[in-house]
Structure 1
Amino acid sequence: METQETPFKAALRSGLIIGLISLVISYVVYFINATSLASSWMLLLLVLSFVLVLVFGFSYRKELGGYIPFGAAFQFSFFTLVVAGIVGLFGQLLLFQVIDPALPGVLADQQMQNTMEVMESFGAADAMSTEQIDEMKQGMLDGYTVGGQIKSFGFVLIFYAICALILGAIIKRKEPTPSY
């Protein structure tokens, strides 16, 4: 009798693949233009991750015989995102703390510039004091520290859980019940 892979084992493999793909893309973007890491187009990387979770989820469902209950689909999706997130976290820590320790300052400046442009478009930039602007920039810099990244990963886990609910609902497929 053939044993089926558990959602956790399948998620570990899929999460490592997705995490490594995300890391490669992030590092390529870094080497091309580091300030692009602070741009909104990096959200495409998140969308790519979700698409890959679906691709691997459908593959896992097929491996299970074409049917997977919601619980297993949720577990697969959540743990895939968590593993990919942990790989990404270690890659970011390596980038920000070892490879280019000056990068957090560059990215915080870019984020600050982007934020001020948005605030100016709403007419709110003039209402901020210099102290408020400095405090906001310091908050951005703190997000690139080891503690800041671990703390933000904790919040990302909540986001992953919500996304895994949606992804699990897409991946699941009930086995048809015979009607008599």
Structure 2
Amino acid sequence: MEPQTLKSNTPARAALNAGVIIGLLMLVFNFIVYFIDYSYLVAAWYGIVVLVLFFGLVIYFGIQYRKEIGGYMDFGAAFQFSFVTLIVSGLISTIGNMILYFVIDPGLPEMLVETQLENMVAMLDNFGAGDSISGDQIDEMRNEMANSFTVAGQLKAFGVSIIIYAILALILGAILKKKDKTKDF
């Protein structure tokens, strides 16, 4: 009698593997950008590039998984794959960011806050609203931004991300599902 083994093609197992790969790739990308110029980490274009790359990788690995299981995947399996992938990769990214902020470069959060604040003020100036913001409001924004770079802020952001991941997994699940039309009859 053969020992029972875990099915290697379950959505959760495939998502765990994909999530680790995506999380590590995103972490490497984040560190490369940090070493090039830390200010890019709070640039709007960087956020857009990361989002596109992130979605593209989840879709790529989802399609690979769908091919592995026969070319068809129902919405439930596609949602489960997407959600677990997003959570695992998000957790790896969060841990990597915490290592960057608290071990590798503890001064980085303060520099990112100042850069982010400068970007916001410049954007407000472009819209003609730069003069309407007071020094107290700037200090309040600085404190809120600084709080997001603490351990508690990082964990809170990951908690909020889980809710966002669920919504994104619904969208990705709809993209990745493929119905076997031969079973309709």
Could you say which residue in structure 1 is the equivalent of 2:16?
12
CA distance in structure 1 between the partners assigned to 2:8 and 2:141 by the alignment: 50
Q: Are the aligned partners of 1:4 and 1:64 in contact in 2 as well (CA < 8 Å)?
A: no
TM-score by length of 1: 0.95
- Shift in CA distance, 73/178, structure 1 to aligned 2, threshold 3 Å: closer
How far apart are residue 66 of structure 1 and its match? Answer: 0.8
CA RMSD of aligned residues (A): 1.5
* Aligned ranges 1:18-167 → 2 under 5 Å: 18-43=22-47, 44-167=49-172
AA matched with 1:20: L
TM-score by length of 2: 0.92
CA distance in structure 2 between the partners assigned to 1:82 and 1:112 by the alignment: 29
AA matched with 1:102: G
CA distance in structure 2 between the partners assigned to 1:153 and 1:65 by the alignment: 34
- Structure 1 residue runs of 4 or more that deviate by more than 3 Å after TM superposition: 177-180
- Shift in CA distance, 128/179, structure 1 to aligned 2, threshold 3 Å: closer
Structure 2 unmatched runs, 5+: 1-6
Q: Which moved more, 1:152-161 or 1:11-20?
A: 152-161
How far apart are residue 178 of structure 1 and its match? Answer: 4.7
User: Deviation per CA, 1:3-34, whole angstroms, max 9, x where unpaired?
Assistant: 55111111100000000000001101111111
- Shift in CA distance, 87/167, structure 1 to aligned 2, threshold 3 Å: same
Matched length: 179
Q: Which moved more, 1:138-147 or 1:155-164?
A: 155-164
CA distance in structure 1 between the partners assigned to 2:176 and 2:113 by the alignment: 38
